[in-house]
Amino acid sequence: MSKKVPITVAHGDGIGPEIMAATLRILEAAGAALDIETIEIGEKVYLRGNTAGIEPSAWESLRRTKVFLKAPITTPQGGGFKSLNVTTRKTLGLFANVRPCVSYHPYVKTRHPNMNVVIVRENEEDTYAGIEYRLSPNVTQCLKLITKPGSEKIIRYAFEYARQNHRKKVTCFTKDNIMKMTDGLFHKLFDEIGAEYPDLEKEHWIVDIGAAKMADTPETFDVIVMPNLYGDILSDVAAQIAGSVGLAGSANIGDHAAMFEAIHGSAPRRAGQNLANPSGLLLGAVQMLVHIGQTEEAARVHNAWLKTIEDGIHTYDIFKPDVSKQKVGTKEFADAVIARIGQKPETLQAVQYAAGGGRPITHSRIEANAELTGVDVYVNWNGYRADELAVTLQQANGEGLALQMISNRGVKVWPEGMPETFTVDNWRCRFIGEKGQVTQQQTVSLLGRVAGLGLSIAKMEHLQYFDGVPGFSLAQGQ
Ligand code: NAD
Residue of 89, 235, 240, 264 to mutate, ligand 1, most atoms within 8 A of C-beta:
264
Fold classification of 1-94+245-350 is: Isopropylmalate Dehydrogenase (3.40.718)
Same fold, 1-94+245-350 and 111-242: yes
Residue 261, C-beta contacts closer than 8 angstroms, at least 6 positions apart: 69, 70, 71, 72, 249, 250, 252, 280, 281, 284
What mean pLDDT do residues 427-446 have? 96
Nearest Cα neighbor of 397 from 318, 472, 450 is 450
Cβ of residue 261 lying under 6 Å from some atom of ligand 1? yes
What mean pLDDT do residues 347-360 have? 84
Cβ of residue 88 lying under 6 Å from some atom of ligand 1? no
Atom of ligand 1 nearest to the CA of 76: 32
Cβ of residue 264 lying under 6 Å from some atom of ligand 1? yes
Q: Check whether the bond before 218 is cis (ω within 30° of 0).
A: no
Residue 154's Cβ-side half-sphere holds a number of Cα atoms within 13 Å equal to 33
First to last CA, the chain: 68
Cβ of residue 428 lying under 6 Å from some atom of ligand 1? no
**Global pTM exceeds 0.85:** yes
What value, to the nearest 5°, has the Cα angle with vertex 434 and ends 429 and 439? 80
Burial tier of 57 (Cβ tally within 10 Å: 0-12, 13-18, 19+): exposed
Note the pLDDT of residue 1.
Answer: 58
Give the full edge-to-edge strand order of the sheet including 426-433.
Answer: 411-414, 401-408, 426-433, 370-380, 456-466, 469-470
Rounded distance from Cα 178 to ligand 1 centre (Å): 35
On whether the CB atoms of residues 293 and 241 are closer than 8 A, the answer is no
Cβ of residue 85 lying under 6 Å from some atom of ligand 1? yes
Cβ of residue 407 lying under 6 Å from some atom of ligand 1? no
Element (H, E) at 198: none
- The number of angstroms, rounded, from the C-alpha of 84 to the middle of its chain's C-alpha atoms is 15
Q: Is the pLDDT of residue 355 over 80?
A: no
Q: Give 476 or 388, the one with higher predicted confidence.
A: 388
Q: List Cα–Cα distances, 313 to 54, 249, 318, 331, 377, in angstroms.
A: 36, 19, 10, 12, 64
Atom of ligand 1 nearest to the CA of 71: 40
- CATH architecture entry for 370-470: 2-Layer Sandwich (3.30)
Q: What is the pLDDT of residues 391-436, one digit of tens each?
A: 999 999 999 999 999 999 999 999 999 989 999 999 999 999 998 9
Q: How many residues does the chain have?
A: 478
**CA gap 172, 187 in Å, rounded:** 7
Q: What is the pLDDT of residues 451-468, one digit of tens each?
A: 999 999 999 999 999 999
Rounded distance from Cα 43 to ligand 1 centre (Å): 14
- CATH architecture entry for 111-242: 3-Layer(aba) Sandwich (3.40)
For the chain, what are the domain ranges?
Answer: 1-94+245-350, 111-242, 370-470
Query: How many other CB atoms are found less than 10 A from the CB of residue 267?
Result: 19
